[in-house]
């Protein structure tokens, strides 16, 4: 699947920059165009792979290239005001060669959390191809303003995009990795998981064609219907068949089920699928109740077989209760077999419920504060009237 990626804010820009690097390393061919948008000049300068002409500085008139300082209303305002600057960069990319847009942003800061939903809305108005979001939730230890920004931005972003893929920094911190120190690792995890999914249907020069291809329409169908998505992943190292012929015996041309090696291959795939679905998801949730899913098995073709994928797909249907589980293989000459699972339209997500609660409480607080200040104002006026009375 070919994507036009737009990174909004610091986290968004860094992740898209990393996707370009991944694309280059793995010859995946998924990033057809990459743009970074930010209100902080230094963040744009720190990028390594996104071409200079695709780095768009917004809000100069207001914040002079210094960022919006986690003020997401200001982030949204500067995005609205300078949307033409972003559009100019988009005009220069061959959008007719692109299957979808992916707008990437950290939802805890100001620029990305405020600007990404504004851009998504703009893109949907102009283009007919899908517009997806990749939203990064902040660590819960980052402080109230980040949580509040994320709560607000999430609500708007999910509404503006065709599907919101979510990565929760917090779920990685909880296992002992610090968020601040670990962005490099976290970003690598993000591009690997989403890279395998989006790369599944792209066949580069000299690459093998899959036995059961996952083309871009299957990814689009899995994401259609909107809502929130999460991605599971598991991998296992294997030896590459470089000597020729040895591993081809593993599955055999007949692919017969009584062949022990074929059975091993099938078992390896089904256990990887379970690990991927029940292990750490990009956004932790209950997988039961997922509306649609897509399973991609990648690795050297001699380690992939249709039977294993079919079993994994069936198991996912049972676990999720979804009747729309798609699956396919993605042959790659890498020394690992990996299962990537896209769970789309997940509903039972404790982290999102907590975020929504925060947004509601903040709203109530705002109402209380407003009510309090109105009461104060009235009593002041009354006091004033009391004081004024004797004068008249």
Residue 22 neighbours by CB under 8 Å, 6+ apart = 28, 191, 192, 195
CA gap 3, 11 in Å, rounded: 18
User: Is 371 assigned to a binding site?
Assistant: no
Question: Given the complex with ligand GTP, which of 273 and 283 has the nearer CB atom?
Answer: 283
Site map (CB under 6 A) of ligand GTP, residues 186-205, x = contact: xx------------------
The candidate with the shortest Cα–Cα distance to 284, out of 171, 122, 115, 177, is: 171
CA gap 295, 67 in Å, rounded: 39
Question: Given the complex with ligand GTP, which of 11 and 287 has the nearer CB atom?
Answer: 11
Among residues 130, 133, 138, 199, the one that binds ligand GTP under rule CB under 6 A: 138
Question: Given the complex with ligand GTP, which of 142 and 329 has the nearer CB atom?
Answer: 142
Nearest-approach distance from CB 304 to ligand GTP, in angstroms:
30
* Contact present, 283 and 323 (Cβ < 8 Å): no
Q: Is 221 exposed, middle or buried (0-12, 13-18, 19+ CB in 10 A)?
A: middle
**Token output for 116:** 């990404």
Report CA dihedral (191, 194, 198, 199) to the nearest 10 degrees.
50
Q: What is the 3-state secondary structure (H, E, C) of 45-64?
A: HCCCCCCHHHEEECCHHHHC
Nearest-approach distance from CB 242 to ligand GTP, in angstroms:
35
Nearest-approach distance from CB 137 to ligand GTP, in angstroms:
7
Residues 32-71 that bind ligand GTP (CB under 6 A): 38-40, 67-70
* Contact present, 48 and 16 (Cβ < 8 Å): no
Residues 92-121 that bind ligand GTP (CB under 6 A): 106, 108-112
User: Is 12 assigned to a binding site?
Assistant: yes
* Contact present, 290 and 322 (Cβ < 8 Å): yes
Question: Given the complex with ligand GTP, which of 7 and 312 has the nearer CB atom?
Answer: 7
Question: Given the complex with ligand GTP, which of 47 and 325 has the nearer CB atom?
Answer: 47
User: Is 111 assigned to a binding site?
Assistant: yes
Residues 276-335 that bind ligand GTP (CB under 6 A): none
Nearest-approach distance from CB 56 to ligand GTP, in angstroms:
13
Among residues 139, 227, 299, 300, the one that binds ligand GTP under rule CB under 6 A: 139
User: Is 187 assigned to a binding site?
Assistant: yes
Task: For residue 17, count other CB atoms closer than 10 A to its CB.
Answer: 21
Question: Given the complex with ligand GTP, which of 74 and 123 has the nearer CB atom?
Answer: 74
User: Is 10 assigned to a binding site?
Assistant: yes
Among residues 136, 210, 285, 346, the one that binds ligand GTP under rule CB under 6 A: 136
Question: Given the complex with ligand GTP, which of 158 and 210 has the nearer CB atom?
Answer: 158
Among residues 1, 5, 9, 283, the one that binds ligand GTP under rule CB under 6 A: 9
CA gap 151, 139 in Å, rounded: 13
When asked if residue 146 is in the footprint of ligand GTP (CB under 6 A), the reply is yes
User: Is 65 assigned to a binding site?
Assistant: no
When asked if residue 133 is in the footprint of ligand GTP (CB under 6 A), the reply is no
Binding-site residue numbers for GTP are 10-14, 110-112, 142, 169, 187
Binding-site residue numbers are 10-14, 110-112, 142, 169, 187
Chain residues binding ligand GTP by CB under 6 A are: 9-11, 14, 38-40, 67-70, 106, 108-112, 136, 138-139, 142, 146, 169, 179, 183, 186-187
């Amino acid at each position: 699947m070919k994507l036009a990626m737009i990174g909004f804010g610091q986290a968004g820009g860094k992740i898209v920059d990393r996707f370009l690097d991944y694309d280059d390393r793995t010859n995946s061919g998924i990033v057809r165009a990459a743009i970074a948008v930010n209100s902080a000049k230094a963040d744009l300068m720190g990028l390594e792979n996104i071409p200079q002409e695709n780095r768009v500085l917004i809000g100069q008139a207001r914040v002079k290239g210094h960022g919006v300082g986690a003020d997401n209303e200001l982030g949204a305002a500067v995005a609205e005001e300078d949307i033409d600057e972003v559009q100019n960069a988009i005009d220069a990319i061959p959008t007719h060669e692109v299957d979808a847009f992916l707008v990437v942003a950290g939802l805890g800061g100001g620029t990305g959390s405020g600007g990404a939903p504004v851009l998504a809305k703009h893109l949907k108005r102009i283009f007919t191809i899908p517009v997806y979001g990749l939203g990064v939730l902040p660590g819960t230890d980052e402080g109230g303003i980040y949580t509040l920004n994320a709560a607000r931005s999430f609500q708007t972003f999910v509404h503006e995009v065709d599907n919101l893929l979510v990565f929760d920094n917090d779920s990685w911190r909880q296992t002992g990795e610090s968020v601040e120190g670990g962005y490099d690792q976290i970003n690598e995890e993000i591009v690997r998981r989403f890279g395998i999914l989006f790369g599944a249907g792209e066949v580069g020069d000299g690459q093998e064609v899959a036995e059961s291809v996952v083309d871009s329409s299957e990814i689009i169908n899995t994401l259609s219907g909107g809502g929130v998505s999460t991605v599971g992943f598991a991998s296992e190292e294997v030896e590459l068949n470089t000597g020729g012929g040895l591993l081809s015996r593993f599955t055999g041309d007949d692919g017969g089920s009584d062949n022990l090696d074929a059975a091993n291959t099938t078992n390896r795939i089904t256990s990887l699928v379970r690990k991927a679905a029940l292990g750490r998801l990009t956004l932790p949730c209950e997988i039961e109740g997922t509306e649609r899913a897509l399973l991609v098995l990648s690795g050297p073709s001699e380690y992939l077989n249709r039977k294993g994928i079919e079993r994994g797909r069936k198991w996912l249907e049972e676990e999720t209760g979804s009747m729309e589980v798609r699956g396919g293989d993605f042959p790659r000459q890498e020394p690992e077999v990996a299962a990537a699972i896209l769970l789309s339209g997940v509903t039972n997500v404790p982290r999102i419920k907590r975020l929504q609660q925060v947004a509601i409480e903040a709203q109530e607080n705002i109402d209380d504060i407003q009510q309090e200040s109105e009461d104060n104002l009235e009593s002041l006026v009354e006091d004033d009237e009391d004081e004024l009375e004797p004068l008249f």
